[in-house]
Amino acid sequence: MTTINDIAKMANVSRTTVSRVLNNNGYVSEDVRKRIMQIVEETGYIPSLSAKSLRTKKSGVIGVIIPRIDTETASRVVSGINEVVAKGNFQILLTDTELDKQKEIEYIRLLQSRHVDGIILLATNVNDQLIATIKDVELPFISLGQDLPGVTSILYDDYHASVDVTNMLLSKGYEKVAFIGVSEEDPSVGRLRKKGYVDAMASRGYNFDESWIETGDFSIESGYEAMKKIIKNSRGELPSAVFVVTDRMAIGAMEYLREQGYRIPEDMAVVGIGASTMSRYVTPSLTTVDYFNKEAGHRAAELLIQQIKQKKEAEKFVQTYRLIKRDSV
């Protein structure tokens, strides 16, 4: 590998001058600049970013921590992040926790040791150790999708989206709305979305059966199983609609209903959240909520880059959402 010293020698100047040319600062005569640039071209020299990073404490890399890449939500977010950071000549160092909470913390440390300029975290849970670690690393930090105290967070409006969905169902005359959620360890998807449902039901004076509420684990299969349980448990009084907090689980639920010969939406309406590509192409097409994941990624990246440029107070941003009405309701 050619180094800055090699270039300097070949151009008969000091490495300082070469550095000046490369970084476009300080005074350099046009003559020398040209000579150096030519040698750089010829040799195909590329500066070592490890060395640069060691010296400048900046890496041009931003760390992204996600629970799983192979979900549409995550890949959309990452795509959004990438579009923005690439413009700022940053790269993404991607880490995937595979839903392991402990790894969220480990990876924050790891990214710190790699001198990333900032971190975007898609957390699946919130706990004190996590918050403490984030504080401790003292890096520009964005939480996407979970409200982390003291940390700039970009939030989906889980509560209101959930209220809207439930109200929409109630308004359409589906009085008996079942619910498939996820573990309440996940404050956004688990707790808030459920709270929205519960509150909306209560405020409209509908009482609902506990047996209408089931929990899945984000997978299609778990949606299928949850639907099965709901049907099994509620013999006698079948719900007329089911609100599922993710599209994938909703697809699973639909699958079960289809298998059992229930018509959607005549026998049971189904609503999901996520606006997955699939939701549009299943039959019947699935009513869902678009969370604009890619835009959230954009936003996160923009905010992070701002923070990298100058430190800021923690802020909270709530993304808009949009109810997409389709044929499953």
Q: Does 37 bind its own copies (CB under 8 A)?
A: no
Distances (CA, A) of 218 to 82, 206, 225, 249: 25, 27, 12, 6
Strand 322-324 with 288-290, pairing: antiparallel
Residue 72 or 290 with smaller CB distance to its own copies: 72
Stretch of residues binding DNA (CB under 7 A), selected from 8-16, 88-96, 139-147, 221-229? 8-16
Stretch of residues binding its own copies (CB under 8 A), selected from 34-42, 84-92, 121-129, 162-170? 84-92
Residue 136 or 267 with smaller CB distance to its own copies: 136
Distance from C-alpha of 59 to C-alpha of 217, rounded to nearest angstrom: 37
- For its own copies, the binding residue among 4, 36, 74, 231 (CB under 8 A) is 74
Q: Which residue has the tokens 């209220």?
A: 163
Stretch of residues binding DNA (CB under 7 A), selected from 16-24, 90-98, 210-218, 281-289? 16-24
Residue 136 or 237 with smaller CB distance to its own copies: 136
Stretch of residues binding its own copies (CB under 8 A), selected from 76-84, 153-161, 203-211, 304-312? 76-84
Q: Does 116 bind DNA (CB under 7 A)?
A: no
Q: How far is the CB of 160 from its own copies (least distance, A)?
A: 26
Q: Does 44 bind DNA (CB under 7 A)?
A: no
- Identify which of 171, 1, 38 has the alpha carbon closest to the alpha carbon of residue 18: 38
Distances (CA, A) of 30 to 6, 13, 21, 34: 20, 14, 10, 6
Report how far apart the first and last C-alpha atoms of the chain are (Å, whole number): 63
Q: At what angle do helices 293-309 and 72-87 cross, to 10 degrees?
A: 40
E-only strand ranges, 18-134: 61-66, 91-96, 118-121
Contact set with DNA (CB under 7 A): 1, 3-5, 12-17, 19-20, 22-23, 25-32, 46-48, 51-52, 54-56
